[in-house]
């Protein structure tokens, strides 16, 4: 079982967040264990001080190395990977989340606004991770994002074991729009294929719509997808079938105006699919 220890001045933020939804179920089912620890436990002065102003001046408070180190020593064992959440880290990706999910023990250090003393990073931290180019008030939301993203890769955390692989980023495409009851709503009808019960046809349709949605919203991802599909197509040397681009153009052309509208693809044109 993957063990995750989170070092934070706000342990309730972690405990509360992981008690809900899929993460809460994973914890209950003992597929994952998350425990929060506060350096305040090791502060011995009257005010239980855990941070101080930066030497040389500057914004924010810096977490003191000593209480942080004592907390680290409480949780660390031989196979621990110690990760510091920080704006200076490399940006989290789905691939990174998958890799982390295979570890035995993760320790996340959450700094507050200002960060932690550099000497802890130098002596203890294996990896620095950011969740994106924007400024947060502390590392807790970062740690929670990483935990949420990696949990999906632990077998059994999602209902069926293979759903993480079907998810958009694993395939390099965004997901197609989804619909539930009723069949008609706000004057918009659910695409006919989805009601057909023909699972093979439905899966093909979903992948094509995904590709079109990706072309519209993330041309960068679409370009890569098309290159991959082209490589597969070349390798198969199936001269009878058409190129992936041509196939998508035909699929788009075959969609009715109503279908294009309900899928948000009314302003996508055949020329846009040229990679
Ligand atoms: C005085 C603060 N900043 C100097 C410009 C540095 C700074 C340190 C710590 C800014 C924000 C923070 C708190 N952020 C995190 O701990 C954090 C974070 C983030 O801010 N953005 C993206 N990912 C992450 S992961 C942790």
- Residue by residue, DSSP assigns 186-227 as TTEEPPGGGGS--HHHHHHHHHHHHHHHHHHH-HHHHHHHHH
Atom index in ligand 1 nearest the CA of residue 131 equals: 23
- Pocket lining for ligand 1, CB < 6 angstroms: 59-60, 85-87, 111, 113-115, 130-132, 134-136, 138-139, 142
Average confidence (pLDDT) over 37-46: 98
Q: Which of 7-21, 55-69, 225-239 has the lowest mean pLDDT?
A: 225-239
Give the pLDDT of residue 232.
Answer: 94
**184-204 confidence digits (pLDDT tens):** 999 999 999 999 999 999 999
Write out pLDDT tens, residues 72-93: 999 999 999 999 999 999 999 9
Protein residue with its CA nearest to atom 12 in ligand 1: 113
pLDDT of residue 159: 76
Q: What are residue 82's DSSP bridge partners?
A: 107
Q: How far is the CA of 139 from the centre of ligand 1 (A)?
A: 7
The pLDDT-based confidence of 162 (bands split at 50, 70, 90) is low
Domains of the chain: 2-151 (3.40.1280.10), 168-274 (1.10.1270.20)
* C-alpha of residue 142 to centroid of ligand 1, in Å: 9
Average pLDDT, the chain: 96
Indicate which atom in ligand 1 lies nearest the CA of residue 86. Answer: 26
Q: What is the average pLDDT across 257-265?
A: 98
Is residue 169's pLDDT more than 90? no
Percent of the chain past pLDDT 70, that is, above it, reads 97
Ligand 1 mutation pick, 113, 131, 148, max ligand atoms within 8 A of CB: 113
Do 68 and 7 form a contact (C-beta atoms < 8 A)?
yes
CA of 3 to the centre of ligand 1 (A): 25
Which residues neighbour 147 within 8 Å (Cβ) at sequence distance 6 or greater?
A: 4, 18, 23, 34, 108
Tell whether the model's pLDDT for residue 68 goes beyond 80: yes
Task: Please determine, for residue 35, whether its predicted confidence score (pLDDT) is greater than 90.
Answer: yes
Taking the C-alpha atoms of residue 120 and residue 50, their distance in angstroms, rounded to an integer, is 14
Indicate if the pLDDT at residue 240 is higher than 80.
no
Atom of ligand 1 nearest to the CA of 129: 25
What average pLDDT does range 152-163 have in this prediction? 82
In this prediction, residue 160 has a pLDDT band, given cuts at 50, 70 and 90, of low
């Amino acid at each position: 079982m993957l063990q995750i220890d989170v070092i934070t001045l706000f342990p309730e933020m972690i405990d509360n967040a992981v008690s809900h939804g899929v993460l809460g179920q994973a914890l209950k089912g003992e597929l994952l264990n998350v425990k929060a620890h506060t350096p305040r436990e090791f502060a011995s002065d009257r005010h239980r001080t855990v941070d101080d102003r930066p030497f040389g001046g500057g914004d924010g408070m810096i977490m003191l190395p000593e209480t942080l180190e004592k907390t680290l020593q409480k949780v660390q064992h031989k196979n621990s990977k110690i990760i510091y959440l920080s704006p200076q880290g490399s940006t989290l990706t789905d691939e990174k989340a998958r890799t982390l999910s295979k570890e035995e023990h993760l320790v996340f250090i959450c700094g507050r606004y200002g960060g932690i003393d550099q000497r802890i990073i130098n002596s203890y931290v294996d990896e620095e991770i950011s969740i994106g180019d924007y400024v947060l008030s502390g590392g807790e939301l970062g740690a929670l994002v990483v935990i949420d993203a990696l949990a999906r890769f632990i077998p059994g955390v999602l209902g069926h074991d293979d759903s993480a692989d079907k998810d958009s980023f694993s395939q390099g495409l965004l997901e197609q729009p989804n619909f539930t009851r009723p069949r008609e709503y706000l004057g918009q009808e659910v695409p006919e294929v989805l009601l057909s019960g023909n699972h093979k046809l439905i899966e093909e349709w979903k992948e094509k719509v995904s590709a079109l949605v990706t072309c519209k919203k993330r041309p960068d991802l679409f370009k890569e997808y098309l290159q991959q599909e082209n490589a597969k197509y070349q390798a198969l040397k199936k001269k009878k079938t058409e190129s992936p681009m041509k196939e998508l153009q035909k699929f788009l052309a075959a969609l009715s105006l109503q279908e294009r509208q309900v899928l948000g693809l009314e302003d996508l044109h055949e020329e846009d699919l040229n990679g």
